[in-house]
């Protein structure tokens, strides 16, 4: 197979091949994606056919898409993916609890971190969101890079990737083909702001999809719509809890706790069918439920939302 791959790359370098407008870089991940599910002979035949059709491309990833017929969402050129801003925004957001003593960042530390990820900010942001989901606490920014290399981060990502590609999963309309890890990372990249809830989103997705690209679109739409409604849902939670007593004692309620409550509702069967968190709180109040902690309320909201969502989606008897 190595000889076959070399033959393809050799052909792409010949004067006969005019597919690329100029020089382009080739990443190992993109190369693996092009040969995924195809023999080197099949790939070479397709490449020669594209060249005969006078196809003109700017990047190797475009060739991968043309050969495989699949959209490569997670591969970006380094110069298009260098900005640390998305990671900095995530680290500074209320949902990120990695730095309990405040965040102090130096430009040299940022560059060191980017170099460690080969300037792939998308992968870096995924790992940072996973680290946050694991509940890790750091004292300084310098502790971030070593923490990202931990086995716990690798294991957590593997669990998420296994959920995405599970052949028995209900988020696919039919048994999916095998996906490369690079393709699967496209789903994770869309989920960094809600990565803890990705398995819940996939479990409760209202309509099964036909492929990974459709899954990316569905997950992206769900998270975007939920984010746009978050402030209204937060106002409903605060207003309801201020008016009705659901707790047996007083304690501080933090923004991350309220967000977790809202996300639990939004990504439940109930929430993904348009139901509001206010309806769930009302149902708990009417059942005279009282809680000793906010976590207890969140658990009750999760159970009630699943029950209410199942009832709504059940076919009529």
* DSSP-based three-state secondary structure for 99: strand
Q: What is the pLDDT of residue 79?
A: 41
Q: Which of 57-61, 199-203, 259-263, 281-285 has the lowest mean pLDDT?
A: 57-61
For the chain, the average pLDDT equals 85
Average pLDDT of the residues in 288-311: 93
Given a cut of 80, is residue 120 above it in pLDDT? yes
pLDDT in tens, 15-33: 888 888 766 666 666 777 7
Judge whether residue 80 has pLDDT over 50. no
Question: Quick check: pTM over 0.75?
Answer: no
Which sign does the torsion angle of CA 166, 171, 174, 179 carry?
negative
Residue 303: per-residue pLDDT: 95
Work out the number of other CB atoms within 10 angstroms of the CB of residue 99.
19
Q: Which residues contact 192 (CB under 8 A, 6 or more apart)?
A: 90, 125, 126, 128, 129
Residues in Cβ contact with 245 at an 8 Å cutoff, skipping those fewer than 6 apart = 290
Rounded to an integer, what distance in angstroms lies between the CA atom of residue 237 and that of residue 244?
A: 10
Nearest to 291 by CA among 230, 234, 244, 255: 244
Q: 151 pLDDT exceeds 70?
A: yes
pLDDT band at 74 (very low <50, low <70, confident <90, very high): very low
**Is the per-residue pLDDT at 304 higher than 60?**
yes
Per-residue pLDDT tens over the stretch 243-296:
888 998 888 788 888 989 999 999 999 999 999 999 999 999 999 999 999 999
In the predicted structure, residue 61 carries a pLDDT above the cut 90: no
């Amino acid at each position: 197979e190595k000889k076959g791959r070399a033959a393809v790359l050799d052909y792409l370098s010949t004067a006969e091949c005019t597919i690329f407008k100029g020089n382009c870089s080739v990443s190992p991940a993109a190369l693996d994606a092009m040969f995924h599910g195809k023999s080197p002979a099949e790939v070479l035949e397709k490449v020669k056919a594209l060249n005969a059709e006078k196809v003109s491309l700017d990047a190797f990833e475009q060739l991968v898409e043309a050969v495989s017929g699949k959209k490569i969402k997670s591969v970006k050129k380094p110069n298009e993916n260098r900005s640390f801003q998305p990671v900095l925004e995530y680290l500074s957001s209320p949902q990120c609890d990695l730095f309990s003593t405040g965040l102090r960042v130096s430009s040299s530390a940022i560059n060191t971190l980017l170099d460690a990820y080969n300037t792939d900010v998308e992968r870096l942001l995924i790992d940072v969101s996973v680290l946050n989901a694991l509940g890790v606490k750091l004292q300084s920014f310098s502790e971030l890079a070593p923490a990202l290399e931990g086995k716990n981060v690798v294991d957590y990502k593997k669990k998420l990737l296994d959920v995405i590609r599970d052949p028995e999963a209900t988020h696919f309309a039919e048994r999916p083909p095998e996906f490369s890890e690079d393709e699967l990372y496209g789903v994770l990249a869309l989920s960094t702001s809600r990565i803890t809830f990705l398995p819940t989103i996939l479990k409760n997705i209202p309509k099964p999809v036909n492929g990974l690209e459709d899954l990316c679109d569905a997950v992206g739409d769900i998270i975007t719509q939920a984010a746009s409604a978050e402030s209204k849902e937060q106002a409903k939670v605060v207003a309801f809890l201020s008016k009705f007593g659901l707790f047996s004692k007083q304690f501080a309620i933090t923004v991350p706790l309220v967000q977790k409550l809202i996300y639990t509702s939004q990504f439940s069967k109930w929430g993904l069918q348009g139901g509001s968190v206010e309806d769930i709180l009302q149902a708990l109040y009417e059942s005279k439920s009282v809680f000793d902690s906010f976590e207890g309320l969140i658990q009750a909201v999760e159970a009630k939302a699943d029950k209410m969502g199942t009832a709504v989606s059940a076919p009529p008897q």
